[in-house]
Amino acid sequence: MEAEKIIAEATGRFLGSERFRIEALPLSGSNRRYFRIFAGNETFIGVFNHDLRENRAFIHISKQFAALSLPVPSILYEELENHVYFLNDLGNTTLLHTLAKDEEGRLTPASKKYYQKAIAYLPLFQIKGSDVIDYSICYPREAFDRQSMMWDLNYFKYYFARLANVPFDEQKIEDDFECLTDFLCQTERKFFLYRDFQSRNIMILNDEPYFIDYQGGRRGALHYDIASILFEAKTFLHPDDRQELLNFYIGQLNKLHPVDKDSFLEFYYAYVYIRLMQAMGAYGFRGLYEKKELFLQSIPMALEHLRWLRTHVKLPVALPELERVWDYLIDNEHIRQLAQKSLPLTVKIISFSYKKGLPIDNSGHGGGFVFDCRAVVNPGREERFKTLTGKDEAVIQYLESDSSAQLFFAHVWGLIASSILTYQQRGFTYLSVAFGCTGGQHRSVYFAEKLCNQIKQSYPSVRIELQHRELEMAENPLSNNH
């Protein structure tokens, strides 16, 4: 309550009025507290953070980026003596919310477009941003140098490897850390390093990307940030998409700062490894130690990234003890069980007929959505589809080619993706989604199946229960009596 009280007092001073309403936003992985403030028809974001140096770094970097016309939040007001500053409201939709994949796990064209838009800005932050940042203000360190690298590596060692009971030789792993940092420090490190360039820190507003959470930025190498977004555990991008987006980034980078692709790639995967280990340290601290489910859920995907790297990448530096630790992590069932101790989010998806009434929700809390599909074109009106269902290819192709059906699903997916992330962040374990149409045979079944596949591709840690109520009753008429 202290944070909200201080935010309220600062809001009164900022507005010169007491006519406003404050809504706390969900907690994230940091100690910062965020609030949405409603004043008339306007909203803005209030931030409370005890860490004065971090606040100063964020405000300085924001103002410098804004002066370059880069899409970052505007600083509306600051009371650093009270640990408060206000930002313009960029909404709730992140790049992560827009993530959509096809049945092969590849990004859909729309999702890839968002990624390309975001990645196109990265060289601007790195090259032009570096010219205007006062790195002495950066927090907690002005550069991603040897000291910063060793902090990240030890974060991984103590908060992931130790907590997961991974056996290793202390001296040998320290020797490997030294060897890895020696190699990484051979790169040119004069650019702005965003530090947390990830899908959850890229907002999508009016179809354009805006960038937040760069308060940990500092001077560093070009490789780190593109590694951060392409090997993010939560999004778990397909290797072909990662390669395509990496090539896109290098193309954009060359427009501002020509680089030799082979030389860039020589160091790239070493930066992927150190970024992945830093992230695993965070998953260990926040998940294995603090028992926060959102971070536990990222561990299996991080391990799969590690598996892919060990299979496909040969580093140009020998790290025998570290490689042994990586291999131990990949195939250790105990570690996977640690990550799965908490209950995953279950999404129950139901198709039904409005003629037979709404489905019964037995969850006890009623959390979820009921979508009326009857405004979408009805395949059941055509003779050729009467005996088919929304699971049949002919019906699927018919609805896939209908723009109204695809627009309907785009709106549905925006709501469901946002809810899944919020439910995971708040530790909720059950979400219900129902699709209803006239007969419960075509449209509702199609959308239920489509949502099921989309969740599987975009959120592999989510457990799905799929029920086609009317189809099941048709197959087993006696089920109505039980």
Per residue of the chain (482 residues), give pLDDT as tens. Answer: 699 999 999 999 999 999 999 999 887 778 899 999 999 999 999 999 999 999 999 999 999 999 999 999 999 999 999 999 999 999 988 999 888 888 788 999 999 999 999 999 999 999 999 999 999 999 999 999 999 999 999 999 999 999 989 999 999 999 999 999 999 999 999 999 999 999 999 999 999 999 999 999 999 999 999 999 999 998 999 999 999 999 999 999 999 999 999 999 999 999 999 999 999 999 999 888 887 777 887 898 999 999 999 999 999 999 999 999 999 999 887 776 666 655 678 999 999 999 988 887 766 566 799 999 999 999 999 999 999 999 999 999 999 999 999 999 999 999 999 899 888 877 788 899 999 999 999 999 999 999 999 999 888 888 899 999 888 876 654 444 43
Residue pair 83/49 in contact by the 8 Å Cβ criterion: yes
C-alpha to C-alpha distance for 66 and 74, rounded to whole angstroms = 7
C-alpha to C-alpha distance for 133 and 254, rounded to whole angstroms = 22
CATH 3.90.1200.10 fits 95-339, yes or no: yes
Query: What is the DSSP secondary structure assignment for residue 147, as one 8-state letter?
Result: H
**Cα angle value 209/226/302 (rounded, 5°):** 105
Q: Which residues contact 227 (CB under 8 A, 6 or more apart)?
A: 268, 271, 272, 275
CATH 3.30.200.20 fits 2-59+71-88, yes or no: yes
Question: Which residue in the block uniquely carries the two structure tokens 């778990």?
Answer: 236
C-alpha to C-alpha distance for 333 and 330, rounded to whole angstroms = 9
What is the model's pLDDT at position 338? Answer: 66
Query: What is the DSSP secondary structure assignment for residue 132, as one 8-state letter?
Result: T
Query: What is the DSSP secondary structure assignment for residue 80, as one 8-state letter?
Result: G
Query: What is the DSSP secondary structure assignment for residue 260, as one 8-state letter?
Result: -
- Delimit the CATH 3.30.200.20 region(s) of the chain: 2-59+71-88
- Delimit the CATH 3.90.1200.10 region(s) of the chain: 95-339
Q: Backbone phi, then psi, for 366, in 5-degree steps?
A: 70, 25
Question: Which residue in the block uniquely carries the two structure tokens 């193309």?
Answer: 251
Residue pair 277/156 in contact by the 8 Å Cβ criterion: yes
Question: Which residue in the block uniquely carries the two structure tokens 């999508």?
Answer: 204
For residue 127, give the nearest of 53, 48, 190, 208 by alpha carbon. 190
Helix 239-256 × helix 223-230 angle, to 10°:
150
Predicted TM-score (pTM) of this structure: 0.78
